[in-house]
Amino acid sequence: MDYNKCAKEILAAIGGKDNLVSAAHCATRLRLVIVDNDKTDQATLEDIDGVKGVFESAGQLQIIIGTGTVNKVYDEFIKEAGVEAASKDDVKAAAAAKAPMWKRAIKTLGDVFVPILPAIVASGLLMGIVEAIGKVSTDFSSTDWYAFLDMMSSTAFAFLPVLVAASAAKVFGANIYLGVVMGLMMVHPSLLNGWNVGNVESINEFFGVTDGIIPTWNLFGDLQIGDYVVGSISQHGYQGHVIPVVIVIWLMSKIEKWLHKHVPEMIDLFVVPITTIFISALAAFIVIGPIFSLLENYVLAGAEWLVQNPFGAAVVGFFYPATVVMGLHHMYNVIEAGMLAAGDLNTWMPIATAANFAQAAAALAVGLKAKNGKTKTIAIPSALSASLGITEPAIFGINFRFFKPFICAMIGGAVGGLFAAIVGLGATAYGVTGFPGFLIINNIPMYCLLLLISGGVAFILTWIIWKEGDTKKDKKAKDAPVADAEAKEVDATDTAVDDTAEKMVCTPVDGKVIPLTETPDETFASEALGKGGAIIPTGDTIKSPVNGTVNMVFDTGHAVGLESDDGVEILVHIGINTVELNGNGFETIAKEGDKVKVGDPLIKFDEKIIKDGGYNLTTPIIVTNTDDFASVELLTTGDVTSGTELLKVQK
């Protein structure tokens, strides 16, 4: 292809160099930050020769071009734009800075609450199981096993402020252990448990009083401003709150960083920690805790009223998928965590389930109704993924792409949300929707009806309204197989007889194989870069999946490109968005130009570093020159060892 022509056309379609803030590239796509997205002509971008797809994510315009080509287009692009090459971190920072304040705040909250999901899910699932067994067997509730398991399941919720504090400290760049100390301080056993603040009997018993009033510490004596006693601290904890903890840790990070800059290094270790903790503790208990816990109570009360009110629940169910498209859905974790921290059921989860399951049903309807083979192969596995709570493949690969199914699913989510509010559904954890939600829901029969109603409405509407070929994108998808068939017929006259032989691509690492369409990344899941499979690694070394040549090792170590001796071009991409780690956690073994055989080591990676960074380790293995072949077939799923035959490629 003409790389310069492609670059010029991309630059023109985004509104010219004056509309460009920053540019970088990863293994498969250009990552651009745009001044004004309204000046970008996305339809023109998608029609440019060499561009395989366009989408916006995390404030970046991402233009899918493909491995081995994107770097060449990028080189021409920065020449034409007259900008310096930027790192992925530079682009990420530029995108974050460009985002509105409210969106940055929501992203920050998501960054705090998403990493603690495993602890919340584990505790919530265990709580649901223990309660279910207790209902089946009344004798079980009086056993030592019940008491032990009940203690286990409640730990994450009893000390939720500590988990939040540790995660927030990491996000804000503060010392994690100082953050943990602050979190522990806010649930200290010498303070009245936050859940008992309104309980007169508990107050009297805990403090040995008779008036039901929580005592205070008056740090500055009787100094008053009006009715307010300066420095007065109510002796209760914050077990039922999460937002005050986030605010406290944010302030703590600012104090700590300022002190590190201004305190001489020789006394830094003695001065900074104690000063940081002392000032943060005063702020937490005198100002931040009382004010923001009150505000949080109002927010939670409003959210609970909204989702328990049938009309409000319908509105939330309708708009929920739109927030997924905008990347704002992690903000709901804050509301759900607040509900659970306050000792209430999570009534947001059933509405999210209705919205997600409706997306699954709409994608399934498209998959069953479509005649185009590629649409079917994306839609049906994506529907299964969405039914388990992972909706991105269904939304970005099918529903939002064809749009009508997306709207039908939104209607299904609204009807499901309405039903959930009417029957009073709630959950004991957050972070789980769809079929796995059966483990944490309070009413299984009603939950079954919720899935049937939301999914049924979305499926029926999509089946009636959506028609294959009624949009420009549909027509392209419909015409593509014909064009491919004609191209292959022409190419066939020039190929040697042995080109029709099957070519095998093996698994590059031990792990669990899943269809590529179930990959939690819309670019890979849509097969825009080519067909293939994906693996969730259990090993730590990527090995060559073919006999051939290493034609590209990315400087960040997160991906490698190869060409087999029989002409199959392969991309192995370790994890999702791991380019943002800038090589941290990756060690390259092979180099460009190396001749390799199946099983030769290429890259070592550190699973802990990658997962601690919040990145998904699912590893796509893609045939990037899929269009050169008649078929690329996934041969296996489930647990495998490296060297197992994964893909069959045939002319």
| Residue 636 and residue 644 in contact, taking contact as beta carbons nearer than 8 Å | yes
Considering only CA atoms, which of 250, 108, 105, 236 is closest in space to residue 165? 250
- Percentage of residues in the chain having pLDDT higher than 70: 86
* Distance between CA atoms of residues 444 and 428, nearest Å: 13
What pLDDT is attached to residue 91? 61
Per-residue pLDDT for 264 more than 50?
A: yes
Instruction: List the beta bridge partners of residue 559.
Output: 573
Euclidean distance between the first and final Cα of the chain, in Å? 23
What pLDDT is attached to residue 470? 55
> What pLDDT band is residue 574 in, cutting at 50, 70 and 90?
very high
Residue type, 342: A
Which residue ranges make up each domain of the chain? 3-99, 135-300, 310-472, 497-650
- Cα-based distances in Å from 498 to 71, 494, 502, 504: 33, 12, 9, 14
Per-residue pLDDT for 488 more than 50?
A: no
43-52, 185-194, 275-284, 297-306 — most confident range: 275-284
Residue with tokens 């006999």: 547
* Distance between CA atoms of residues 111 and 105, nearest Å: 10
Strands (E) in 95-244, as ranges, are 216-218, 224-225, 228-229, 232-234
Q: Is 267 helix (H, G, I), strand (E, B) or coil?
A: helix
Per-residue pLDDT for 480 more than 50?
A: no
The residues, any chain, with a CB within 8 Å of residue 33's CB and separated by 6 or more, are 20, 21, 22, 23, 59, 60, 61, 91, 94, 95, 98
Q: What is the pLDDT of residues 94-151, one digit of tens each?
A: 666 666 676 677 677 767 876 787 777 677 667 767 777 776 677 887 888 888 988 8
Per-residue pLDDT for 198 more than 60?
A: yes
| Residue 530 and residue 623 in contact, taking contact as beta carbons nearer than 8 Å | yes
> What pLDDT band is residue 201 in, cutting at 50, 70 and 90?
confident
Q: Side by side, which strands form the sheet with 541-543?
A: 541-543, 601-605, 586-588
Residue 456's Cβ-count burial label (10 Å; 0-12, 13-18, 19+) is middle
What pLDDT is attached to residue 248? 95
What pLDDT is attached to residue 481? 42
For 101, the token pair is 């304040």
Q: Percentage helix, strand, coil, to 5, in the chain?
A: 55, 15, 30
What pLDDT is attached to residue 554? 83
Q: What is the DSSP string of 394-422?
A: HIIIIIHHHSHHHHHHHHHHHHHHHHHHH
Considering only CA atoms, which of 335, 286, 331, 282 is closest in space to residue 307? 335
Residue with tokens 């002319």: 651
For 355, phi then psi, to 5°, come to -65, -45
* ∠ Cα 451 452 456 (to 5°): 115
Considering only CA atoms, which of 542, 554, 552 is closest in space to residue 578? 554
- Among 197-201, 271-275, 630-634, the range scoring the smallest mean pLDDT is 197-201
Per-residue pLDDT for 13 more than 50?
A: yes
The average pLDDT across 346-356 equals 89
182 or 17, which is more confident? 182
> What pLDDT band is residue 487 in, cutting at 50, 70 and 90?
very low
Residue with tokens 């000032």: 279
Longest dimension (CA), the chain: 96
What is the second-level CATH architecture of the domain 497-650?
Answer: Distorted Sandwich (2.70)
State how beta strands 548-553 and 559-564 pair. Answer: antiparallel
For 136, the token pair is 């089946």
> What pLDDT band is residue 423 in, cutting at 50, 70 and 90?
very high
497-650 and 3-99 share a CATH fold? no
Q: What is the pLDDT of residues 584-595, one digit of tens each?
A: 889 999 988 899
Residue type, 630: A
Domain 3-99 = CATH 3.30.1360.60: yes
* Distance between CA atoms of residues 420 and 354, nearest Å: 8
Q: What is the pLDDT of residues 585-634, one digit of tens each?
A: 899 999 888 999 999 999 999 998 888 877 889 999 999 888 778 888 89
Per-residue pLDDT for 482 more than 60?
A: no
Q: Is 184 helix (H, G, I), strand (E, B) or coil?
A: helix
- Among 137-151, 264-278, 279-293, the range scoring the smallest mean pLDDT is 137-151
Mean pLDDT value across the chain: 83
> What pLDDT band is residue 162 in, cutting at 50, 70 and 90?
very high
Strands (E) in 443-524, as ranges, are 503-506, 511-515
Residue 270's Cβ-count burial label (10 Å; 0-12, 13-18, 19+) is exposed
**Residue 448 neighbours by CB distance under 10 Å:** 12
Residue type, 341: A
H/E run at residue 602: strand 601-605
What pLDDT is attached to residue 386? 81
- Percentage of residues in the chain having pLDDT higher than 90: 31
Number of residues assigned to the chain: 651
Q: How many helices (H) and strands (E) would you count in the chain?
A: 24, 22
Which are the catalytic amino acids?
26, 573
Q: Is 339 helix (H, G, I), strand (E, B) or coil?
A: helix
What pLDDT is attached to residue 493? 35
